[in-house]
């Protein structure tokens, strides 16, 4: 639902599911510490803004790191960010995920595309999707890229793994499409952003959490992305920014995307380059997602948002 200013609002149930806080905890935090002040809709029910959800998520994550809510309830978002940065969780790196990384790298070394495909497919079959993406695919791709830069791997070997990853992620998207629910999010990169594996991995991760995903790929004119989003009734467009040399051009494309999108459609922005930009330079309606956790929380919120 939306408020009078066009901003999306969420029920207490949706907020509970998106943040991991029980309804009882939400009400207790509001009553005891005044952490947020949700407004009431015409039916008298609590409704929360996207900002409310973001702050609750940060508070919950900070308490998970051992900080009592009584000590952090009145901290600013900036101070909460400092606390989280000091105690940031390490990525999952189980023996199983490390074993799959080694198997994938061995297949690349030996020029065995079928074995690379099988290793990735088996990883998805045995491990959570989030772990495969963060602890198997990401480190394997980084290692292959690093070896290519050092002259130890050829372009062909780099293409071997990227093609295998692309095939398996595309298959995963198709598998999860039958389970999709909630609103639609379009995943793409704007013109000049040629790297697609990052946005494809996030599309697959979102689909695994039952979000309705439309994946368009890389290097698309912003007007085309906006036209597609409008046609499918998307609630958001997810954009990846990876290439620092195209920073100014990408910002211009994002501004064009904002102008072309229907009112109320969010722009989700992630990728390494996005963290180098002053948030004030992004167009209105942009939601920055510097970490995978931020992304997953937003996906969960969108899954539980009623479709218009």
Minimum mean pLDDT range among 94-98, 136-140, 187-191: 94-98
Say whether pLDDT at 252 is over 60: yes
Shared domain check, 184 and 214: yes
Q: What is the pLDDT of residue 226?
A: 97
Backbone torsions φ then ψ of 211, nearest 5 degrees: -75, 145
Q: What is the pLDDT of residue 79?
A: 75
On whether residue 288 sits in a domain, the answer given is yes
Shared domain check, 299 and 184: yes
Q: Pick the closest to residue 205 from 113, 115, 127, 89 (CA basis).
A: 127
On whether residue 273 sits in a domain, the answer given is yes
CATH number of the domain within which 13 lies: 1.10.1660.10
Q: What is the pLDDT of residue 93?
A: 63
Q: CA 207 to CA 211: how far, in whole Å?
A: 5
Shared domain check, 81 and 135: no
pLDDT band at 39 (very low <50, low <70, confident <90, very high): confident
Minimum mean pLDDT range among 28-37, 66-75, 132-141, 182-191: 66-75
Shared domain check, 187 and 160: no
| Contact criterion met (CB below 8 Å) for 271 and 242 | yes
Shared domain check, 295 and 197: yes
Q: Which of 86, 111, 128 is the last residue of a domain?
A: 86
Domain total in the chain: 3
Shared domain check, 221 and 117: no
Shared domain check, 167 and 121: yes
On whether residue 272 sits in a domain, the answer given is yes
pLDDT band at 276 (very low <50, low <70, confident <90, very high): confident
Say whether pLDDT at 109 is over 60: yes
On whether residue 38 sits in a domain, the answer given is yes
Shared domain check, 218 and 160: no
CATH number of the domain within which 264 lies: 3.40.50.280
Its domain, for residue 271, covers 180-303
Say whether pLDDT at 90 is over 50: no
On whether residue 157 sits in a domain, the answer given is yes
Most confident of 26-35, 93-102, 170-179, 233-242: 233-242
On whether residue 205 sits in a domain, the answer given is yes
Shared domain check, 102 and 25: no
Q: What is the pLDDT of residue 306?
A: 59
Q: Which of 121, 142, 173 is the last residue of a domain?
A: 173
Say whether pLDDT at 7 is over 60: no
pTM: 0.70
| Contact criterion met (CB below 8 Å) for 198 and 269 | no
Shared domain check, 24 and 42: yes
Q: CA 282 to CA 163: how far, in whole Å?
A: 32
Q: Give the mean model confidence (pLDDT) for residues 202-228.
A: 94
pLDDT band at 92 (very low <50, low <70, confident <90, very high): low
Would you state the structure tokens that stand for residue 236, as one six-digit string?
């958001």
CATH number of the domain within which 116 lies: 1.10.1240.10
Q: What is the pLDDT of residue 11?
A: 83
- Which tens digits make up the pLDDT trace of 126-150? 888 888 998 999 999 989 988 998 8
On whether residue 3 sits in a domain, the answer given is no
Rg (CA), the chain: 20
Q: Which of 122, 146, 173 is the last residue of a domain?
A: 173
CA dihedral 101, 103, 105, 108 (to 10 degrees): -140
Minimum mean pLDDT range among 29-33, 138-142, 231-235: 29-33
Shared domain check, 188 and 244: yes
pLDDT band at 49 (very low <50, low <70, confident <90, very high): confident
Q: What is the pLDDT of residue 84?
A: 67
- Which tens digits make up the pLDDT trace of 156-172? 999 999 999 999 999 99
Shared domain check, 166 and 203: no
On whether residue 262 sits in a domain, the answer given is yes
User: What's the half-sphere exposure (Cβ side, CA atoms, 13 Å) at 32?
Assistant: 11
């Amino acid at each position: 639902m939306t408020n009078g200013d066009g901003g999306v609002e969420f029920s207490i149930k949706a907020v509970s599911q998106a943040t991991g806080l029980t309804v009882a905890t939400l009400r207790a935090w509001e009553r005891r510490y005044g952490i947020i002040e949700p407004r009431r809709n015409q039916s008298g029910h609590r409704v929360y803004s996207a900002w409310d959800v973001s702050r609750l998520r940060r508070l919950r994550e900070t308490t998970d790191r051992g900080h009592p809510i009584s000590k952090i309830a009145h901290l600013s978002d900036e101070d909460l960010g400092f606390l989280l940065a000091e105690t940031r969780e390490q990525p999952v790196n189980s023996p199983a995920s490390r074993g799959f990384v080694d198997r994938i790298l061995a297949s690349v070394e030996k020029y065995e595309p079928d074995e690379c495909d099988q290793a990735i497919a088996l990883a998805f079959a045995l491990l959570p999707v989030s772990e495969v993406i963060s602890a198997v695919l990401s480190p394997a791709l980084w290692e292959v890229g690093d070896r290519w830069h050092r002259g130890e791997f050829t372009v062909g070997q780099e293409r071997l793994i990227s093609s295998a990853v692309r095939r398996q992620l595309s298959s995963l998207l198709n598998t999860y499409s039958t389970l999709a629910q909630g609103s639609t999010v379009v995943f793409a990169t704007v013109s000049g952003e040629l790297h697609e594996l990052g946005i494809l991995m996030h599309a697959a991760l979102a689909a695994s959490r039952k979000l309705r995903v439309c994946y368009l790929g890389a290097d698309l004119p912003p007007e085309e992305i906006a036209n597609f989003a409008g046609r499918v009734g998307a609630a958001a467009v997810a954009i990846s920014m990876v290439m620092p040399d195209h920073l100014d051009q990408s910002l211009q494309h994002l501004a064009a995307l904002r102008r072309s999108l229907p009112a109320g459609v969010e722009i989700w922005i992630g990728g390494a380059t996005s963290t180098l930009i002053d948030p004030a330079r992004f167009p209105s309606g942009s939601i920055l997602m510097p970490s995978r956790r931020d992304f997953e929380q937003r996906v969960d919120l969108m899954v539980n948002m009623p479709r218009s």
